[in-house]
Structure 1
């Protein structure tokens, strides 16, 4: 299989020969079998040395969409015969057309091993019973993430979404100690507990570990502390991935809230300037768009794929947990970035400011009803559920002033009553462009 089960704990310099060897095999495979790359590279052979990867053009999601539209269902970047595929997933389509993802048996196995590293790094052990509350209906986060949870040796309860009352009873009856879900889902559970289980508090359920992914939010210390105080569990970002690449290849550990890159043996990362596409050295202090290349992939190999995620790299030295990959934060998505008078703003930046106010729930929407340019950022926020009565006068102005102070941008803030935003069991979209 050529995947290294201990690669997340192996010094990077010791991995380099494996990385180079894997790329040489993968480069030949892609060049020989992928029509999309033959066209994209215009007959040019891929470099043998992976350090020269930037000689090749970048690939983005829009090109994959065109490929699948013209060559359904998997696109002409399917490098294996269709009979090699043993599983089909579909992306959520959060930022556009949903995509069909094909996995060979080897692709699925490697995905499970790498994802298992993430959940294990986040603290999941064979001693846990974990309930998995992501959508199983074709989406990568369902069956695939279920398998990565099993990779840790934990007892996994495949619950999915919906039936929240049954979930509460199941947690109580089975003795579940960990939950895998989106960061916004505990709010759904809290409302159901308050309405249907009088006298029961979230922390009474006995959950000790929260494995979160699919949405931003966990970088906000106030949000994390609230989960600890209300639920009595330790929140971890345990499920960072890019569906077209790997469902899960980075996670937090008990010692560091930054994400650890855990797939160096099968996935090659680069950084680029999101505007120019120019390469940025992958070092501590660097920030740019994450670009990813499969080192081992049968069905739909990706080479220099633009993830759309803007990341900041904080550390490249090994962590005290033993992981050797670089540690990073997701600043935002290139397609969620809103430019206000020359300032590049991401939802996570706005969330960090809103999270400072105890009167607010922390939920928000950036509602854009016209195309750019923007002179001000329109932000709607809601009151916390324990804030009854009239909305305090002057609160919107106070939030606007704090956004101006911290982010340097003018904002138009609208305060809404508690519970104004719908709560979802899937991904919550924060930037809404109604003009599209």
Structure 2
């Protein structure tokens, strides 16, 4: 095992010696035991210096899918005897084939420790009671994130998804003051409160802290303000991870809405151009696709793995909270990017515009009925609760205003359809914003 105590507070230069030593052990482990990387590297020896990792080829999700299809259930990138596997998870499969994830006992422990750093940074700690509302049915975000919540010293209520009406009663009866869920779930709670608990305001539940993850949206100031105004709780982006690599290794703190990288002792990050794969400097202002390498992992170690997440580096100096990891925000996923007349658009960018309209609920879908190229952005939105179409602001007029705002803010033409409140199905897990006809 290779963890550094309080690694999130260590200076990067101080950590480098540890990282290099960890990589030496990990490189040997992968080269000796991973048939997948033996084939990908074609006899090349992994470099001794982490800064020379770009000498090795990139790996990606499509390769892992092929590996698991050919060598079920864990793929030939399983680099430890199956008897070492202590836990099995499965990815959500929102972007394709669900993947089986194997973790050893050490892998599980390291995941808990690093995830605990993230939830502590976001404000959770001893004396607090948090209800965890992510899917426990094999998804990494369920049991694994439950254990990271426990690592903060908080009392954790393992609720999962579904049963929203009973969840509200549980929050009231137990005195829960924090919730861990997706950013879209509070809207579901609001609907159930209005329907089943008339006269009960969201603020009446007494939630003080919202620990969000699993979906984009937390970068938008309008969304954050809506949560504060409606619920009276502080929204924190507390749970950023990449399931195939690491459940949770970044979160915001009380001083900064950007994500802090918390896993420097166990993960080596790179930035690449998403089109060419060329390395980019990890410096202030840089933007590119995040690539990760395990510095310690028994069962399914990954080297130069393309996460598909496009991130922007916002700061590399220490934060006011004294954590030293670089800070970043997620621009979007490469597979959720929609190109409209040469403009690269991500759901988070569209959400920022939609959330400016008080007449709208904030829920939306981008429905792509055919293959690219696209001349217009096909956007469906719904009215806010209690907001109805009238002569002064009919659906057509509201749609025109939204389209105009998208044109002004994003530079793209949009074809906007306005639906009544409650049009979109209630989603208690991840909400998929981009719907493609070929998926």
TM range (shorter): over 0.9
For the pair 1:397 / 2:411, whether they are aligned, the reply is no
The 5 Å alignment of 1:412-423 reads 412-423=415-426
Identify unmatched segments of 5+ residues in structure 2.
none
What does 1:19-418 align with in structure 2 at a 5 Å threshold?
Answer: 19-390=19-390, 391-418=394-421
3-state SS of the aligned residue for 1:290? strand
Equivalents in 2 of 1:45, 1:15: separation in Å? 24
Give, in angstroms, the shift of residue 39 of structure 1: 0.2
The runs of at least 4 consecutive aligned structure 1 residues that moved more than 6 Å come to none
Work out the number of aligned pairs and report it: 436
Contact residue 360 and residue 383 of structure 1 kept, 8 A: yes
1: CA distance between counterparts of 2:274 and 2:82?
34
For 1:46 and 1:66, how far apart are their aligned partners in 2? 23
Assess if the C-alpha contact under 8 Å between 2:80 and 2:299 holds in 1: yes
How high is the TM-score relative to the length of structure 2? 0.98
CA distance in structure 1 between the partners assigned to 2:410 and 2:24 by the alignment: 45
TM-score (norm. length: structure 1): 0.99
Separation in 1, partners of 2:377, 2:324: 39
Give how far 1:393 is off. 4.0
Checking the alignment, whether the CA contact within 8 Å between 2:91 and 2:99 is kept in structure 1 is: yes
Equivalents in 1 of 2:163, 2:401: separation in Å?
Answer: 39
Whether the aligned pair in 1 keeps the contact of 2:245 and 2:302 (CA below 8 Å) is yes
Distance in 2 of aligned mates of 1:188 and 1:405: 31
Question: What do the CA deviations read for 1:323-342 (whole angstroms, capped 9, x no partner)?
Answer: 10010010000000111111
Equivalent residues of 1:86, 1:103 under 8 A apart: yes
The alpha carbon displacement at 1:434 in A equals 1.1
Does 2:428 match 1:425? yes
Question: Could you list the runs of 5+ residues in structure 1 that have no partner in the other structure?
Answer: none
1:346-382: per-residue Cα shift (whole Å, max 9, x none)? Answer: 1111111111111111111111000001111111111
Q: Could you report, residue by residue, the CA deviation over 1:274-306 in whole angstroms, capped at 9, with x for unpaired residues?
A: 010000000000000000000000000000000
Report the secondary structure of 1:191's partner residue.
helix
CA RMSD of aligned residues (A): 0.8
- Separation of aligned partners in 1, 2:169 and 2:400: 43
